[in-house]
Amino acid sequence: MSLMKNILATSALSLSLGLASLASAQDYQPDPNAKPGGNIIVTYKDDVATLDPAIGYDWQNWSMIKSVFDGLMDYVPGTTELRPGLAESYEISDDGTTFTFKLRQGVKFHNGREMTAEDVKYSLDRVTTPATQSPGAGFFGSIKGYDAMADGSATSLEGVTVVDPYTVKIELSRPDATFLHVMALNFASVVPKEAVDEYGTDFGKHPVGTGAFKLADWTIGQQLVLQKNADYWRSGVPYLDSITFEVGQEPIVALLRLQKGEVDVPGDGIPPAKFNEVMGNPDEAKQVVVGGQLHTGYITLNVEMAPFDKVEVRQAINMAINKDRIVQMINGRATPATQPLPPSMPGYTKDYAGYPFDPAKAKEMLAEAGLPDGFETELYVMNTDPNPRIAQAIQQDLAAIGVKADIKALAQANVIEAGGTPKTAPMIWSGGMAWIADFPDPSNFYGPILGCAGAVEGGWNWSWYCNKDLDAMATEADSITDPAKQDERLQKWSDVYMKVMEDAPWVPVFNENRYTMKSTRMGGADALYVDPVSIPVNYDYVYVTE
């Protein structure tokens, strides 16, 4: 029964729904019916790797870290709207390169010490220093002095200054419209130096933060218990006394236990084989909350390898894939995609229909490109279900226009290696590896996966598509930091992705939807159960009714 997990989305976090707009930010109104107390049980198949906010980048630990730690910025629960977190307020200079954060006073770490500006600086230094080996270090690239940290010539970020114990000033080396989102990432969480020093590399197993919950017990490979932080600085929350995460539980087991009332939230979702059954039963369907997800599943076409160096060939491939059939194969849990951005992402181009499914036209275009008999190629794919199946559906579609694609189903690490090695993988199906947004901003889908910066050895731009003009446009868009010019910025991003579609280095295949199932005793707004930031559930705000 292994591999039953909903692997469409692993090893990453995801965000969903809602348009981020700073101007309209309105904080969450706590539920008047909420009752404090109680324990819930959440299950996962895979072990929790770490709770170190600088390291954790998995599908399960992302939301746990969110509940144990806080950053300067945060999101309104259930939305993608930014709100201040540990920062009480912030100011942005006119040129958009200096951010001054005023910290809340009296916020205490789980060890009892008060959090100050020194901790903010320490935490940013820690996450960017190469010794920490944080997978999120690159997000802080716009902070002044980042490069010196990355190459090891500095031990502290030049751009981060402690003005007084409750004020931090962060200077950027270039305007970065996404910076506040970056400060809301787990990687920007504030950690106490003394606890990191005490546990060293094992800090991830002994986390100390300022969050709504603290770690109470951790039996590796079995369970992890988070306990309410009674001194939490946001008043009234969390409602739950504790949360028990049980790991090593198959999704199917978790679902059966939920039906018996033993589990409150199966963290890996509803297993495919049970999906139709659950959704067909009105009582059980009521327990399911459906939401969008900032996810796109795509095929990369390596523009450095013949015949994908010809744009006609790439366009033909785009027209050959029967996306509806692939969506049917995964029980309709996704929507066919037209472009790199998912529909709920700001900057999504609504009136763009994408390439039509038209095998006859595709065959014609191949003939015009001098390949009337098609060609042979390879399709790389991660070897966990359902990805090899999706690859076989793609393979059949390609065969219909005369393209013979051999499938290479490999371990995740081997596919990533092949993708980042020049002229190795002509086509890659992205399922199981990428791309789920880190934060709800269109720039997040460009840089590493479509921009020139990622089209290098070891990079994540597996189509090796590098368009200098688009890179310039992207930089231009991200230097528009004025909230009043948001629409102009989003339009620029929309243009970038439309140009990408003309050059067709990708075949966008589908955008996944999210289905969270919960026990009948769980309370709180539906939005908390498809929270774009805390997956599967925003633990700080949900409650139990009995």
Partner 1 sequence: MTDATLAEGPARPQSALRRLLRRKLAILGMAIIAIVTLGAIFAPWIAPFAPQDQMFDGLTLEGAPMPPGEKFWLGTDLLGRDLFSRILYGARTSLIIGVVANGLALIIGTLIGVTAGYFRGWIGAVLMRFTDLMMAFPALLLAICLAAIFTPSLWIVAMVIALVNWVQTARVVYTETSALAEREFVAAEKTLGAGTARILFRHILPHLVPMIIVWGTLGISTTVLLEATLSYLGVGVQPPTPSWGNIIFENQTYFQAAPWLVFIPGAAILLLALSFNLVGDALRDVLDPTQRGRE
Partner 2 sequence: MLAYLIRRLIQAALILLGVSFITFFLLFVLPADPVRQIAGRSATPETVANIRHQLGLDQPFVVQYWRYLTGLFQGDMGRSYLQKTEVATLIAARLPATLLLMLGAIVAELIMGLTLGIVAAIRRGGALDQSLMITSFVAVSAPQFVVGLLLLYVFAVKLSWFPIGGYGSFSNLVLPALTLGIMGSGWYSRMMRSSMIDVLRSDYIRTARAKGLRRFRVLALHAMPNAILPIIAMIGIDIGIFMSGIVVVESVFGWPGIGQLAWQAIQRVDIPIIMGVTLVSACAIVLGNLLADLITPFIDPRIKLR
**Residues contributing to the site for partner 2 (CB under 8 A):** 1-3, 45-47, 49-50, 52, 55, 57, 130-131, 133-139, 141, 147, 150-152, 201-202, 204-205, 219-222, 247-250, 252-253, 256, 384, 411-414, 416-418, 420, 434, 438, 447-449, 453-454, 456-458, 460
Choose among partner 1, partner 2, none what residue 107 binds, the Cβ cut-off being 5 to 8 Å by kind.
none
Residue 426 in contact with partner 1, rule: CB under 8 A? no
Distance CA 401, CA 493 (A): 33
Residues contacting partner 1: total by CB under 8 A:
33
3-state secondary structure of 14: coil
CA distances from 50 to 69, 236, 412 (A): 13, 28, 20
C-alpha count within 13 angstroms, C-beta hemisphere, residue 323: 25
Q: How far is the CB of 61 from partner 2 (least distance, A)?
A: 10
Q: How far is the CB of 10 from partner 2 (least distance, A)?
A: 10
- Residue 287 or residue 414: which is nearer to partner 1 going by CB? 414
Cβ neighbours, 10 Å, residue 410 = 16
Residue 514 β-bridge partners: 291
Binders of partner 1 in range 142-171 (CB under 8 A):
none
- Residue 162 or residue 256: which is nearer to partner 1 going by CB? 256
Residue 281 in contact with partner 1, rule: CB under 8 A? no
Binders of partner 1 in range 228-267 (CB under 8 A):
252
- Residue 28 or residue 439: which is nearer to partner 2 going by CB? 439
Residue 407 in contact with partner 1, rule: CB under 8 A? yes
CB 531 within 8 A of CB 316: no
Q: Where are the alpha helices (DSSP H) in 129-281?
A: 146-150, 179-184, 193-199, 251-259, 272-280
Give 48's DSSP letter: P
Closest CA to 291 of 474, 517, 65: 517
Binders of partner 1 in range 440-479 (CB under 8 A):
none
Q: How far is the CB of 325 from partner 1 (least distance, A)?
A: 8
Using the contact rule CB under 8 A, the part of the chain among 133-141, 162-170, 403-411, 497-505 near partner 1 is 403-411
233: its two tokens: 């600085």
Residue 21 in contact with partner 1, rule: CB under 8 A? no
Q: How far is the CB of 327 from partner 2 (least distance, A)?
A: 26
Q: How far is the CB of 42 from partner 2 (least distance, A)?
A: 15
Window 295-334: contact mask with partner 1 (x via CB under 8 A): ---------------------------------xxxxx--
Rounded CA Rg of the chain:
23
CB 508 within 8 A of CB 298: yes
CA 186 to chain centre: 11
Distance CA 287, CA 265 (A): 10
Q: How is the chain split among helix, strand and coil, in percent rounded to 5?
A: 35, 20, 50
Choose among partner 2, partner 1, none what residue 498 binds, the Cβ cut-off being 5 to 8 Å by kind.
none
Q: How far is the CB of 511 from partner 1 (least distance, A)?
A: 17
Distance CA 117, CA 167 (A): 6
Q: How far is the CB of 281 from partner 1 (least distance, A)?
A: 14
Choose among partner 1, partner 2, none what residue 393 binds, the Cβ cut-off being 5 to 8 Å by kind.
partner 1
Q: Which of 39, 392, 424, 520 binds partner 1 (CB under 8 A)?
A: 392
Distance CA 220, CA 210 (A): 23
- Residue 387 or residue 538: which is nearer to partner 1 going by CB? 387
Q: Which of 102, 110, 274, 363 binds partner 1 (CB under 8 A)?
A: 274
Could you tell me where the beta strands, DSSP code E, fall in 132-271?
160-164, 167-171, 213-219, 223-228, 242-246, 265-266
Residue 403 in contact with partner 1, rule: CB under 8 A? no
Q: How far is the CB of 108 from partner 2 (least distance, A)?
A: 26
Encoded amino acid at 125, one letter: D
Choose among partner 1, partner 2, none what residue 49 binds, the Cβ cut-off being 5 to 8 Å by kind.
partner 2
**Helices 486-503, 468-478: inter-axial angle, 10-degree rounding:** 160
Q: Which of 217, 231, 277, 376 binds partner 1 (CB under 8 A)?
A: 277
3-state secondary structure of 525: coil
Q: How far is the CB of 32 from partner 2 (least distance, A)?
A: 38
CB 449 within 8 A of CB 138: no
CB 444 within 8 A of CB 347: no
Residue 400 in contact with partner 1, rule: CB under 8 A? no
**Helices 251-259, 272-280: inter-axial angle, 10-degree rounding:** 20
CB 261 within 8 A of CB 38: no
Q: Which of 389, 448, 479, 491 binds partner 1 (CB under 8 A)?
A: 389
Choose among partner 1, partner 2, none what residue 161 binds, the Cβ cut-off being 5 to 8 Å by kind.
none
Using the contact rule CB under 8 A, the part of the chain among 9-17, 20-28, 388-396, 500-508 near partner 1 is 388-396
Encoded amino acid at 321, one letter: I
Residue 447 main-chain phi, psi, to 5 deg: -30, -80
Q: How far is the CB of 275 from partner 1 (least distance, A)?
A: 8
Give 104's DSSP letter: P
Residues that bind partner 1 (CB under 8 A): 1, 3-4, 252, 271-274, 276-277, 328-332, 383-386, 388-389, 391-393, 395-396, 406-411, 414
